[in-house]
Amino acid sequence: EADNGYNLWLQYVQIEDVNVRQAYIEKLNQIVYLNDNETINVALDELNIGLSGMLGLSDVSALVNSEKINNESGLMLATYSTLSDGLKREFKSDFNKINEEGFIIKSVIINNVSQIIITGKTEVAVLYGTFRFLKLLQSHQSLNNLNIIDAPKIQKRVLNHWDNLDRTVERGYSGFSIWDWHRLPDYLDFRYTDYARANASVGINGTVLNNVNANANILTPQYLEKVAALAKVFRPYGIKVYLTARFSAPMEIGGLKTSDPLDEDVISWWKQKVKEVYQFIPDFGGFLVKANSEGQPGPQNYGRNHVDGANMLAEALNPFGGIVMWRAFVYSEHDTTDRAKQAYSEFVPFDGKFKDNVLIQVKNGAIDFQPREPFHPMFGAMPKTPLMMEFQITQEYLGQSTHTVFLPKFYEEVLKTDTYREGKGSTVAKVIDGSLNNQKLTGIAGVSNVGTDINWTGNVMLQANWYGYGRLAWNPDLKAENIANEWIRMTFSNDIAVVKTIEDILLMSHEAVVNYMTPFGLHHIMATGHHYGPGPWVANLSRPEWNPVYYHKADANGIGFDRTEKGSGATDQYAKEVSKEFSNLNSCPEEYLLWFHHLSWEYKLKSGVTLWDGLALKYQEGVNQVKQMVDYWKSLEGKIDQQRFKEVEMLLNIQLKEAKWWRDACLLYFQQFSKKQLPQGVEKST
Ligand code: GCW
């Protein structure tokens, strides 16, 4: 059989075991809904697709009614306000535990008949509960005595699309942009709805439609009309639309002579523009801005600063409830000592200066979405400013859509790291969910890996990264392992052997890629421009901090970037406990060794081998891990559909070939400096 992967984790294939199916069917004699609303309607649509698929029911809609419960056992969808007084009382303490988007799924007995109630304060909460309910069936769990109470810990759970208006996608490896601007607003591709379903199923509630490197055209009425059409499709699913705001828009599309954020005409131009946007899209979410970064215009072009720029936009959006997500990804060619220090130096002094509706969006690490980076020192360092996490779901530096890398494992690693900013236990997750400093506004962004490929992400295994990002955005304390488990059950199979095998592959994959690309804290040694494959030798680019040699600093004496006090001093940007840990060779985790230290080739690692030998062995370990992944995958033949089996098999084989390429290229290159033989156990170049 074939499965092209289009249905993501919303497969809803028929449950094979008749007994399991029958047990579910007996619980679902009717589906009652008490709110007549477009969001409840899409929840009912989803139940229809899900239950007819999984239970083989021919007419789910016949079960649906909007009347109060009679004596059939079944499912009831209702917001708090439509619940009976009795149920309101019964659920009171549960409702106290949830926010506007949280839901309750509970088994109750009404008139001697058992009912499952899905409720929440809003319709969207009920929709989220519906997806959770369907997940119970997707993963073959019991529907007895349900008592699930869950609510998102982060408010703005957003995808960032680096999609251009010509449908190319910057750093996108899954085809073209799914936004068909040419045929919008009147032609609504069915993908828009399925995209919304997928996002809502994991609780993603916002999407920035266009690239942060963009011109201002998206803000013209011609495009706003198209944006409004997309917003209309997404609205029932609780998804708000956001756009990037190019700082020079007042000049580019407004005919002004300046874009100075303190200029009266500029201020009123933006106010007018924002008003217009809200006429098209009344629930517009707000702007994402990349300013004074990699050539993008910004307030500094006029001698102003990030606060001037962000606050000017924030004031324009404020009357309508919109927010500004101002990116902290800045580095300048004028400061060449250590790019890793620049965002912190530029932003931290502004703590407390931004308006209430501004979030500062910070990449997980201080360089740029490397296979592994220590957490960005800004996390925890701006207690009076809401910081938003920016993860990259698309794999710019991680083998793009060819290599299988399960990113939730890495996201989890970052989120649970302790910043020590308010003492022990000040994890990055607590900075992001606002609990560390009592933030009123919280957010998280993931740079999307979605495109026009039939299976959305180019490689079905990477659907797990979209899914897992959403799950962690909902609850940054979730375990990657559990996320993998549920994703596999929904996407491939509940067969224990299949679940276990794919779980093993996913959970080892991130460490594998780090090992064969950038072990021991090496970073930014990818080929120039496209960032695919190795390129540690590149040394001639116009900006020094674009050259891989700037980052690894390999020479006859050793390798690594000294960021301790003897070096760039970047370690000082962390809380003193963390700074000490990273600066001191005895306590610095070996994962970050060469990120923070320049060490001789003879340096003794914890295992007792020299750095050179250890490095070579790590590259080999990465290759071995991919071999293992290939073997594990092969054992699935016949246990999952042929199409996805074959596709992933081919991709894993490419990954193996390229893991060797990485190992060989990097070791040959570094060997010129170390002048040492490869240790035993490392295969010779192929
Ligand atoms: O990761 C780098 C990418 C750029 C990207 C930039 C950014 C959108 O190479 O393609 O531009 O970061 O995050 O702004």
Looking up residue 619, the CATH number of its domain turns out to be 3.90.1330.10
Whether residue 71 is predicted with pLDDT greater than 80 in this model: the reply is no
The verdict on whether 67 is a catalytic residue reads no
Asked whether residue 132 is domain-assigned, the answer is: yes
Q: What is the whole-number distance in angstroms between the Cα of residue 368 and the centre of ligand 1? A: 8
- Counting from 1 in the atom list of ligand 1, the atom nearest the Cα of 170 is 10
- Name the residue range of residue 112's domain: 18-150
Q: 649 is written with which tokens? A: 């098999």
Q: What is the whole-number distance in angstroms between the Cα of residue 340 and the centre of ligand 1? A: 15
The span from the CA of 666 to the CA of 555, in Å, is: 14
* Residue of 168, 169, 170 with the most ligand 1 atoms within 8 Å of its CB, for mutation: 170
Q: Does ligand 1 come within 6 angstroms of the Cβ of 628?
A: no
Residue given tokens 């699930």 in the structure block = 148
Asked whether residue 8 is domain-assigned, the answer is: no
pLDDT in tens, 467-477: 999 999 999 99
Please check whether residues 243 and 321 belong to one and the same domain.
yes
pLDDT in tens, 396-410: 999 999 999 999 999
Q: 539 is written with which tokens? A: 């040394």
- For residue 546, the model assigns a pLDDT of 86
Give 356's contacts (C-beta < 8 A, 6+ positions apart).
314, 440, 441
Give 585's contacts (C-beta < 8 A, 6+ positions apart).
597
- For residue 686, the model assigns a pLDDT of 66
Q: 415 is written with which tokens? A: 């989120």
Mean pLDDT (whole number) for 264-289? 98
The answer to whether the CB of 510 falls within 8 A of the CB of 410 is yes
Please check whether residues 122 and 215 belong to one and the same domain.
no
Asked whether residue 6 is domain-assigned, the answer is: no
- Counting from 1 in the atom list of ligand 1, the atom nearest the Cα of 211 is 8
Q: What is the whole-number distance in angstroms between the Cα of residue 393 and the centre of ligand 1? A: 13
The span from the CA of 49 to the CA of 8, in Å, is: 14
The answer to whether the CB of 467 falls within 8 A of the CB of 9 is yes
What beta strand segments (E) does 278-384 contain? 286-289, 323-327, 358-363
The span from the CA of 211 to the CA of 239, in Å, is: 18
Q: How many separate domains does the chain show?
A: 3
The span from the CA of 273 to the CA of 536, in Å, is: 46
Instruction: Output DSSP code: residue 167.
Output: S
- Which stretches of 348-495 are DSSP H helices? 408-415, 428-432, 463-474, 480-491
Judge residue 29's burial from the number of C-beta atoms within 10 Å of its C-beta, 0-12 exposed, 13-18 middle, 19 or more buried.
middle
SS3 per residue for 651-675: HHHHHHHHHHHHHHHHHHHHHHHHC
The pLDDT-based confidence of 310 (bands split at 50, 70, 90) is: very high
Asked whether residue 313 is domain-assigned, the answer is: yes
Mean pLDDT (whole number) for 299-304? 97
Judge residue 383's burial from the number of C-beta atoms within 10 Å of its C-beta, 0-12 exposed, 13-18 middle, 19 or more buried.
middle
Cα angle: 249, vertex 254, 259; to 5 degrees: 50
The span from the CA of 115 to the CA of 64, in Å, is: 14
679 preceded by cis ω (within 30°)?
A: no
The residue out of 87, 119, 150 marking a domain boundary is: 150
Task: Tell me which of 110-114, 262-266, 617-621, 656-660 is least confident.
Answer: 110-114
* Residue of 331, 332, 396, 546 with the most ligand 1 atoms within 8 Å of its CB, for mutation: 396
Please check whether residues 312 and 345 belong to one and the same domain.
yes
Please state, rounded to an integer, the average pLDDT across all residues of the chain.
96
Cα angle: 256, vertex 260, 261; to 5 degrees: 115
Please check whether residues 188 and 96 belong to one and the same domain.
no
Q: What is the whole-number distance in angstroms between the Cα of residue 668 and the centre of ligand 1? A: 29
pLDDT in tens, 363-377: 999 999 999 999 999
Instruction: Output DSSP code: residue 580.
Output: H
**Cα torsion 76, 78, 83, 88: sign:** positive
Instruction: Output DSSP code: residue 61.
Output: G
Please check whether residues 418 and 387 belong to one and the same domain.
yes
Q: Does ligand 1 come within 6 angstroms of the Cβ of 170?
A: yes
Chain centroid, CA 212 distance in Å: 16
pLDDT over 90 for what percent of the chain? Answer: 94
pLDDT in tens, 100-154: 999 999 999 988 899 999 999 999 999 999 999 999 999 999 999 999 999 999 9
Please check whether residues 131 and 176 belong to one and the same domain.
no
The span from the CA of 14 to the CA of 4, in Å, is: 17
CATH number of the domain that residue 48 is part of: 3.30.379.10
The span from the CA of 579 to the CA of 670, in Å, is: 29
For residue 685, CA distances in Å to 630, 663, 664, 678, 680 come to: 20, 8, 5, 11, 14
Task: Tell me which of 105-114, 335-344, 579-588 is least confident.
Answer: 335-344
Asked whether residue 506 is domain-assigned, the answer is: no
pLDDT in tens, 187-217: 999 999 999 999 999 999 999 999 999 999 9
**Atom 3 in ligand 1: which residue has the minimum CA distance?**
171
Please state whether 325 falls in left (phi above 0), alpha (psi between -120 and 50) or beta.
beta
The pLDDT-based confidence of 647 (bands split at 50, 70, 90) is: very high
The verdict on whether 413 is a catalytic residue reads no
Please check whether residues 431 and 526 belong to one and the same domain.
no
Please check whether residues 331 and 444 belong to one and the same domain.
yes
